[in-house]
Chains A and B, each alone.
Chain A
């Protein structure tokens, strides 16, 4: 009887919360207060797929859901990105009958990496996708090894892991787990033989601390590696990007599944690959998956097109406190080779908490923007001085760098000058400060 009432309360709160705009986390929080182990009392679907890691969780989950739905499966997933236990509880109870049985074929969970151990205390995912571990929000997370430790407590023996073989730290989770599935990207024309980041988190072996050697890098510490000392190395892969033509915007998975890309960034390729792996394990055919995800445009606001004056603009939402995310956006802009300007805004470092910490700016390789086709680099927001100082340590010609602290003034200035393409690189915490001042397409 208690189960019935708590589910009912949660559903009602979710309904009310949906109206007042606070429906994703609070209902679950209250349900957990009333019934702390409620998640262990439910009849969950045959497939419970969890996705975690530093970058790409929300996009990967969105793509898995889109593919599954296009192929006739019903999926419950946390699309608002409430990815701690409260949000997951709201999701699950919201999708249950009052008897505690989940109605959908598949439960798909985006999980925060640091708190996954609490979410998965009362039930185990059948499949657990781990995308990558980067320097991300270190003001909260400490460092990647600290997150690795926290994440290791969230893994159940009966869960099948689906791991990014190209990330050494993530790959450690596969040790001694026979049924693990692996995804990765083969050497591509865009692969490089050196780490093009400011720092190299792949330089030392995560197992023994010995020096690692890379056969190639895709970006930062993602690539094919082996440890000279203990033999730890990239695992062979079950789901593989075997070819990619970034000029054309097309990848091939497992040699025969061609997927045209709406967006050619390397991180998008990994997200699609992870989604491909997830959908394969629930029994979808590779060709069917490829057919459902070709040219897929993400709906989560990562990429927004806009007009500003005579400029065509693209916002590349990147994460503050996450140098890999920035590097990916910068490299994408560099790779486009079209006449353009770039606007970088650092105003509120986080939308969830306050910090004045700007160390992460020094970990971003802004040198990527040192290209002839980039005409101006506008810097704006509260931390404009930190940005300008950081740029003063690049070889980018000084006259290209234009710091204008006030975002309104900066946007007005850009609007009145030039007609080149404009890229804006900023975080979710700051993007509305731009988007409210431009014409969103």
Chain B
């Protein structure tokens, strides 16, 4: 059984080592006995979204995100159809913003976005919101760790993904972060989220393989992953207690 992964805009939206999400997911899926094919694409022109079991987009500069948005909007309906049909997708950093109805840049110029969800994002070119993050997710046991690095606020999310314990939510005074739409996950947590959170990755693997007959998740040791996660969570909690 071969699972197909699409890493879209892998050289445009790759600011924070995000390719590692694909590396770790590929390794986890192989451990479960699957063959994995990873397709990297700098444009969706020759891509058929419905061919894939998992689609990923990482974070980019503000200008890179606008270029990615311009490209993906040419196949807006196909992308939406794949999302509606239950394809698992993860969009991290400012790729998350593309799932909403619009992104407005620092100069006030507004760009239409995919519109899978109704939320709107506004960038501020003077102020960056950065910081370590701890959050919870109602369908995964145990906190997640990560980092927020953005210059925008997102308002009007109906179904958020995470609840923040440390770090910024979608907008000021909002503890909710990211969004979920069917099996599409959007979050402003940047970088190799799936490397840092092995329990969340397990959830992704189970979701990707959910319709495969006879699949049952085989546990593996993951000593370094667990060690890295626990140390980061411990260090962040120390900081949280001091604050």
Contacts and interface: CB of A to CB of B under 8 A. Distances in A.
B17 A362 contact: yes
Contacts of A44: none
B239 interface: yes
A361 B151 CA distance: 23
A199 B16 CA distance: 10
A363 interface: yes
A347 to B, nearest CB: 11
B11 A199 contact: yes
B149 A138 contact: yes
Given A362-B20, A383-B231, A392-B224, A139 B147 contact: yes
Contacts of B77: none
Interface in B188-242: 190-192, 195-196, 223-225, 227-228, 231-232, 235-236, 239
A389 B128 contact: no
A357 interface: yes
Contacts of B147: 139, 355-357, 359
Contacts of A209: 63, 67
A338 to B, nearest CB: 30
Contact of B239 (A146, A198, A354, A386): A354
A142 interface: yes
Given A200-B11, A359-B17, A145 B62 contact: yes
A389 B228 contact: yes
B235 to A, nearest CB: 5
Interface size class of A (residues with CB under 8 A): 35 or more
B23 interface: yes
B15 interface: yes
Counting contact residues on chain B (CB < 8 A from A), the size range is 35 or more
Contact of A146 (B67, B128, B223): B128
Given A149-B125, A359-B16, A362-B192, A385 B227 contact: yes
Contacts of A393: 20, 23
B19 interface: yes
A382 B17 contact: no
Contacts of B145: 356
B228 A386 contact: yes
A135 B227 contact: no
Contacts of B67: 204, 209
Contacts of B190: 359
Contacts of A135: 15
A143 interface: yes
A362 B151 CA distance: 23
Contact of A140 (B12, B20, B130, B232): B130
Given A362-B19, A386-B228, A357 B63 contact: no
Q: Which 4 A-B pairs have the closest CB atoms?
A: A362-B17, A359-B191, A385-B227, A385-B228
21 contacts: A135-B15, A138-B149, A139-B147, A142-B149, A145-B63, A149-B125, A199-B14, A204-B67, A209-B63, A354-B235, A357-B132, A359-B17, A359-B191, A360-B16, A362-B195, A363-B16, A385-B223, A386-B231, A388-B224, A389-B225, A392-B224
Given A143-B15, A200-B11, A386-B224, 11 more contacts: A142-B130, A149-B125, A199-B11, A204-B67, A354-B235, A354-B239, A357-B191, A359-B190, A362-B19, A385-B228, A389-B228
